[in-house]
Amino acid sequence: MLNITNLQPISINNLIRIGRDNDGGYIIPKVIIDKCDGLISYGINKDWSFEVDFLERRNNINVHCYDHTLNLPSLIKFTFKSILLCFIYIVILDKKRLTKSFYGLSVIKSYFQFFRQRTKHFRKRIWDDNDGINTTVDSTIEKIQSEGSRQIFIKMDIEGAEFKVLNKMNSSKVNILGLAIEFHDINSKSKEFNTIIDGLRKTFHIAHIHGNNYSEVNRSSNFPSSVEITFINKKLLKGTVKKSNMKYPIKGLDQPNRHSKPDTNLSFS
């Protein structure tokens, strides 16, 4: 059973939404952005809007992105799919989805414009070993450290593999300022999830949480199966830390992942 009380965020000022509208955006404390000199993203698929937005707010940092599924054939396939969807959404007059599909028409150009110099894409799968196409979180941290980054933020959306890799992450090896992680299947993997949260809370506070409304809400826990959690290193905060009394999702800040469906309200009692 989920330990829901451990998921209540702390009260923290200057939260900022980074990334595109709806699915793909995360809420980050501004203090992290101000101090960060390295961003590692695991699982970008065809959307690097978070990384673009982060880099616009914090120039001249190293950005390392990892996704073994992203390559030129997949980008070409995505472009043709977007062309087809544009025609469909024009016919059915779906302006919201049409606007999103337009992005796919320029995704190849966007890829080659964004990934160059200090912004790099590695075709590696984040896993618990370094065999073949696999690489560990610790190895990616060592890589970005070797290029001069010491104050690192991590974004992770790896479709369930987070349970495998977070157990092997040694956060004491580097100053990780914070993490934004999308956890999947937390109700069916509640024991593993609780253990990981307990481990992370030794070093980090939960700064924000948002339920992914693409996932179903569990009747027992009243929590969705997928949640996006932002963690902030305790070292960045001074003074007394209090629990937040905000309602989640936060009006004016959070957005539903699926725009056509109401956002998921979260309760920590």
- Model pLDDT for residues 180-204, shown as the tens digit of each residue: 999 999 999 999 999 999 999 999 9
pLDDT at position 102: 67
Distance (Å) of CA 100 to CA 20, 88, 213, 241: 10, 13, 18, 39
Q: Which residues lie below 8 Å from residue 142, measured CB to CB, with a gap of 6+?
A: 173
pLDDT at 134 over 80: yes
Statement to judge: residues 153 and 211 lie in one domain? yes
Statement to judge: residues 127 and 187 lie in one domain? yes
Q: Which residues lie below 8 Å from residue 20, measured CB to CB, with a gap of 6+?
A: 47, 49, 50, 53
Segment 236-257 mean pLDDT: 94
pLDDT at position 259: 86
Residue 172 has a CB neighbour count (10 Å cut-off) of 8
* Distance separating alpha carbons of residues 123 and 174, to the nearest angstrom: 23
pLDDT digits (tens, 9 = 90+) for 144-174: 999 999 999 999 999 999 999 998 776 555 6
pLDDT at 232 over 60: yes
Statement to judge: residues 98 and 166 lie in one domain? no
pLDDT digits (tens, 9 = 90+) for 58-84: 998 999 999 999 999 999 998 888 888
Statement to judge: residues 79 and 128 lie in one domain? no
SS3 249: coil
pLDDT at 136 over 80: yes
**Is residue 257 assigned to a domain?**
no
- 63: containing domain: 4-70+123-236
pTM above 0.85, yes or no: yes
**Is residue 242 assigned to a domain?**
no
Question: How confident is the prediction for the chain on average, in pLDDT?
Answer: 92
Q: What are phi and psi of 107, to 5 degrees?
A: -65, -35
Q: What are phi and psi of 215, to 5 degrees?
A: -95, 155
pLDDT-derived band at 105, boundaries 50, 70, 90: confident
pLDDT-derived band at 34, boundaries 50, 70, 90: very high
* Distance separating alpha carbons of residues 25 and 38, to the nearest angstrom: 18
pLDDT at position 244: 96
* Residue 257, phi-psi category: left (phi > 0), alpha (psi -120 to 50), beta (remainder): alpha
Statement to judge: residues 89 and 199 lie in one domain? no
**Is residue 135 assigned to a domain?**
yes
Tokens 């996006």 correspond to what residue?
228
pLDDT at 110 over 80: yes
Question: How many folded domains does the chain comprise?
Answer: 2
